[in-house]
Chain A
Amino acid sequence: MTILYDEGQQAIATESRRVLEARVGKDALLPLLEIVGEYHRPFWDTAREQGWTALALPEADGGLGLGLIELGLIAHQAGRSISGAPFLTTSFGAAKAVELFGSEAQKSRWLPGLASGETIGAIAFAAGADALPHQPDVTITSDRLNGTARGVSAGLAADVAVVFANGPGMPVLALVDLAKARRTAVPSFDNSRLIADLDFTGTPAETLAVGSAAREAALHILALQAVVTAHEQTGGAEVLMEIARDYALTRRAFGQPIGAFQSVKHRIAELYGLVELARANCIHAAAREGAADFITAAAAARLSATEAYDTAARDCIQIHGGIGVTWEIGLHLHMRRARSLAIEQGSSLFWEDILVDRLAGEAA
């Protein structure tokens, strides 16, 4: 069952958009592309000051007690403005793992900091194409991690990570303080994602879940993050559609606005369709948190949002012609972000399998 946003939710959308549009712009984001290890601090300061870091966490743990619907609305606006750091999603994922699967001690140690944004969290599940590998690269024995988690978003800044590790004969979901882990920056096409390889050499870690429960828990965390990311992707796709539309109205060729040519206007109308399908799937998925079909709904949101953002980035640049490929106009910020968000939390290939396993009744 999908929902209509209530007044409070609409206010969250309006206010977060106002704040972000006032404080975040491409001029601040462009230089970050060429610096490894830096993110847009005003963005994160804003997120903390506005309480977005606490939004979807329980009040008992220093959160505001709202949920995926509200965080999704923030993420949508962040996607429109191109968020300057990945922490809204990564810290949320880590916090949910602690909240849902952690002990009281773990909660009181980590959640208040994650809720205030002082602590930054990361999720390290993937091994290359495998978003939730059957043989994770990182192993855990006697509460110690060994091995390398590759390409972890927020890895350069995170204080704590949730790792999907290979335990003795079964997977383990583990919580690790990153103070003692070695981080190697991964130079990326989207450097403000702070991608790092995390090297563990006997690093102490705590267990959150083991065996099939660990896999299920990890998938649940991925799905929660995927819904947030899908909102962010949809926001990015939406703003690109608007940019394309505005440009097609003003740019003239052959004596008329280029938006009067069907090759251009139909391209933009198709983007509208992709954006609205993604938005509809996002709203539905956010409202299904806790329901039996949540994973299916999250997968649908993720797939349609990835398609919408990639296509919008591609087509918006195409509609701009030569100016679209310049550094200065900054459309490539979206093109880069569309791809980095497409990989984080599992690519479309991963979610297609997750979805079909469920539709065909093959999922565990």
Chain B
Amino acid sequence: MSDLDAYRAKAAAWLQSMAPTFGREARKGLSEADDLALGRGYQKAKFDAGYAGINWPTEYGGQGLGHLEKVTFDAEEMKHGFPSFYFGISLGMPVPVLMQFGSDKDFVKERVLKALQGEEIWCQLFSEPSGGSDLAGLRTKAEPDGNGWKINGQKVWTSWAHYSDYGVIVVRTDPNVPKHKGLTYFWVDMKAPGVTVRPIKLAGGDSHVNEVFFDDVKITDDHRMSPVGGGFAVAIATLMIERYVATDSAGFGPHLDLFVELAKDIRLNGRPAIEDGRIRQQIARNHAMRSGLDSINVRARLMMQAGMMPGPEGSLNKLVAVRSRQKLSELAIDLQGSDGFLFDEHASQKEDWASSWINAPTGRIAGGSDETLLNTIAEKVLGLPQDHRPDKGIPFNQIPA
């Protein structure tokens, strides 16, 4: 057994032992507040057992292990339906970026330890009403104010802002230069005066994303995490941190086995739907697609294991998996016909077809829309030209609205 296999086995056993307390069954019927409290307990248990900050430096309370161990643990963890998503963004991007770019090391250390133990949550304040994909076109501004800064503007689609203690934010500090060059990166206290968080109810009924308003929010200059005007580079660094996360070829929807089971149970034209050619074709196509992604992911892991950089094909995961999950979920509802109306807004999108279906559009937009991902592949992998960009090289305040 390789070291990694041993690590996996140990992690799997630990996760199994946690399942009765924190897993899928334990969460059934909980209010969101109770679920979050359970999640904090689970995060603390992970910390105590040495499974929090797996690939983070030990000086910050991490385990000092590699990316492989992290991805291995995540893949095992995903099986149990633990309430870990409240901390996904927090520990995924803002806190690692704080470790990398935060200037006051004692403060950083204190924050990181609290975040790792589930006591504090961080959010990431990037997208704005005027643009999500066009990050550098953001309008929220910070103006010099005494020895510090004063922030005004609005962010949107901020996951878990309503539970967050802190956030990282990119704002415009100079509108007189081209858009990428006038941005600066800060952290903010989400409880500070002038910060207003308003949950947005999404199509599927849940409200984990928010609008966040900044009205004369004053921060000192020690909140700054980039050079003035150097915020875009840190924003990109933030987005690069989680390039090789544990992926799911089911597109974070139900496993294909569940569709096969459904097709075996349901009768169509008087015989099991699994015998219907249309259904069979979709099963086969989805399997081929998912097995391809699985193979890409295993290869990426093998490359990391061998000390190599995984290939760019890893960027296909979300693009390919989520949109096919969307279609398969539609078909699963078709298959149930008049029984397919049933909707439980608290059902898990990993297990329930209607929940998977109604939440699928979010998956195709959040974290890089399909179109943005296709552009990235075309430009960064294949070397095709950028789109026509009329705002290129023009000072931000002269871009036609």
- List chain A positions with a Cβ less than 8 A from chain B: 1-4, 241, 245, 248-249, 256-257, 259-260, 262, 265-266, 268-270, 272-273, 276-278, 280-281, 283-284, 297, 299-301, 303-304, 307, 351-353, 355-356, 359-360, 362
Contacts and interface: CB of A to CB of B under 8 A. Distances in A.
A352 B281 CA distance: 6
Interface stretch (B142-150, B293-301, B327-335): B293-301
B335 to A, nearest CB: 14
A276 B291 contact: no
B291 A281 contact: yes
23 contacts: A2-B299, A4-B303, A245-B383, A256-B385, A256-B388, A260-B384, A260-B386, A262-B387, A266-B371, A266-B374, A269-B384, A272-B381, A273-B319, A277-B293, A277-B320, A280-B292, A280-B293, A299-B284, A300-B287, A300-B288, A303-B284, A355-B283, A360-B260
Contact of B296 (A277, A299, A360): A277
Contacts, number: 134
A345 to B, nearest CB: 16
Interface in B178-236: none
Nearest to B296: A280
B interface residue count range (under 10 / 10 to 19 / 20 to 34 / 35 or more): 35 or more
Nearest to B290: A300
Contacts of B349: none
Contact of A297 (B263, B291, B375, B388): B291
Contacts of B241: none
Nearest to A301: B288
A2 B295 contact: yes
B192 to A, nearest CB: 41
Contacts of A353: 280, 284
B281 A266 contact: no
Contacts of A304: 288-289, 292
B177 interface: no
Most B-side CB within 10 Å, residue of A284, A301, A351, A353: A284
A265 B306 CA distance: 33
Contact of A265 (B292, B319, B320, B384): B384
B378 A2 contact: no
B75 interface: no
Contacts of B264: 360
Interface string B383-401: 1111110000000000000
A2 B291 CA distance: 10
B382 interface: yes
A352 B374 contact: no
Nearest to B280: A356
Contact of B288 (A3, A270, A281): A281
A262 B375 contact: yes
B295 A281 contact: yes
Nearest to A306: B288
